[in-house]
Amino acid sequence: MRSLLLSITCFMVCFAPSYQQFPRRCATREALLSKECCPSWDPDGSPCGARSGRGFCRDVGEPTQPDGPQFPFSGVDDREKWPLVFYNRTCQCVGNFMGFNCGDCKFGYFGANCNERRETVRRNIFHLSRAETRRFISYLNLAKTTVSTDYVVASGTYQEMENGSNPLFANVSAYDVFVWMHYYVSRDALLGGPGNVWTNVDFAHWAPGFLPWHRLYLLHWENDIRKLTGDMSFFIPYWDWRDSSGCDVCTDELMGDRSPRDPDLISPGSVFSSWKVGLH
């Protein structure tokens, strides 16, 4: 099973500049200088929802394994031992709670106390009704056009942020948060300004991490669309391409047909033809 999102993301990612997502509430000078990212959970006002037993703020443990030979950039790559370059205290959630402030439920759990277990079955995109298809595309478009409330992206390296005293962050849409996340883990990431970008330092592809990384990524994305739309039954449909001879999801009802005028462009009849790559 391959999710549709993968192909969209891949399409978007190829042209994306380098940015990385951070909880908005930790993108401050204070949080960067103290290296603590333990935002409060609004209903009880305590960091990590500690007062309600959702989690607690704790030191991020240093990994004990040395870097492998495929990672020769020790001390210069902001992603090394993530998130220790930026934060050394974050929320540790307990039970069925999850998220940067333990405000979310673990995947598969719902309800105010995150104790309602529910399975989601992802369906073949060609088995959706017309209304379901339209809803799916409209959710994507909503995510693309709504500024993320929870996350911002870094627009500079830690060094460029003067070790935290000069935060460099930008607002992006809820959809683009995921585009940047995918990009940042992959290659040409923020490694120290112009002319100092290493290619192919990729933590999500070409290795055993590929499947688990992307499965988790899609679960996060699905969860985010649910939060954005309030539709807790939302799932990412999949495209079963095994028997297709071409791109049979490339129609204006789905991911967009080719433009009749320029085969490199998406048809103007598709909502995706108005999507732009970038921060603005």
Ligand X SMILES: *[C@@H]1O[C@H](CO)[C@@H](O)[C@H](O)[C@H]1NC(C)=O
Nearer to ligand X, 27 or 249 (CB): 27
**Judged by CB under 6 A, which of 146, 163, 196, 200 binds ligand X?**
163
Give the Cα separation of 161 and 148 in Å (integer).
22
In the complex, the smallest distance separating the C-beta of residue 176 from ligand X, rounded to whole angstroms, is: 13
- Site for ligand X contains 141 (CB under 6 A): no
**Judged by CB under 6 A, which of 141, 171, 229, 273 binds ligand X?**
171
In the complex, the smallest distance separating the C-beta of residue 41 from ligand X, rounded to whole angstroms, is: 20
Q: Of residues 18-77, which lie at the interface with ligand X (CB under 6 A)?
A: 34-35, 59
Q: Of residues 244-273, which lie at the interface with ligand X (CB under 6 A)?
A: none
Interface mask toward ligand X for 85-124; x: CB under 6 A: ---x------------------------------------
Burial class of residue 49, CB neighbours in 10 A (0-12, 13-18, 19+): buried
Half-sphere exposure of 212 (CA within 13 A, CB side): 4
Nearer to ligand X, 13 or 161 (CB): 161
Nearer to ligand X, 35 or 182 (CB): 35
In the complex, the smallest distance separating the C-beta of residue 171 from ligand X, rounded to whole angstroms, is: 4
Which residue stretch of 48-56, 114-122, 125-133, 169-177 sits at the interface with ligand X (rule: CB under 6 A)? 169-177
**Judged by CB under 6 A, which of 170, 197, 247, 250 binds ligand X?**
170
Give the Cα separation of 215 and 213 in Å (integer).
6
Cβ(200)–Cβ(187) below 8 Å: yes
Q: With CB under 6 A, what is the number of residues at the site for ligand X?
A: 9
Q: How many Cβ atoms from other residues are within 10 Å of residue 66's Cβ?
A: 8
Look at the block and give the residue holding tokens 């999850």: 98
In the complex, the smallest distance separating the C-beta of residue 48 from ligand X, rounded to whole angstroms, is: 17
| Bridge partners, 69 (sequence order) | none
Which residue stretch of 49-57, 96-104, 137-145, 166-174 sits at the interface with ligand X (rule: CB under 6 A)? 166-174
Which residue stretch of 7-15, 37-45, 165-173, 254-262 sits at the interface with ligand X (rule: CB under 6 A)? 165-173
The residues near 75 (Cβ < 8 Å, ≥ 6 apart) are: none
Nearer to ligand X, 84 or 271 (CB): 84
For 195-217, letters b (16+ CB in 10 Å) and e give: eeeeeebbbbeeeeeeeebbeeb
Query: Which pairs count as long-range contacts for 193-199, CB under 8 Å and 24+ apart, including other chains?
Result: 193/157, 193/159, 193/160, 197/18, 198/73, 198/77
Half-sphere exposure of 140 (CA within 13 A, CB side): 23
- Site for ligand X contains 162 (CB under 6 A): yes
Give the Cα separation of 177 and 50 in Å (integer).
27
| Bridge partners, 151 (sequence order) | 23
* Residues at the site binding ligand X, with contacts judged by CB under 6 A: 34-35, 59, 88, 162-163, 169-171
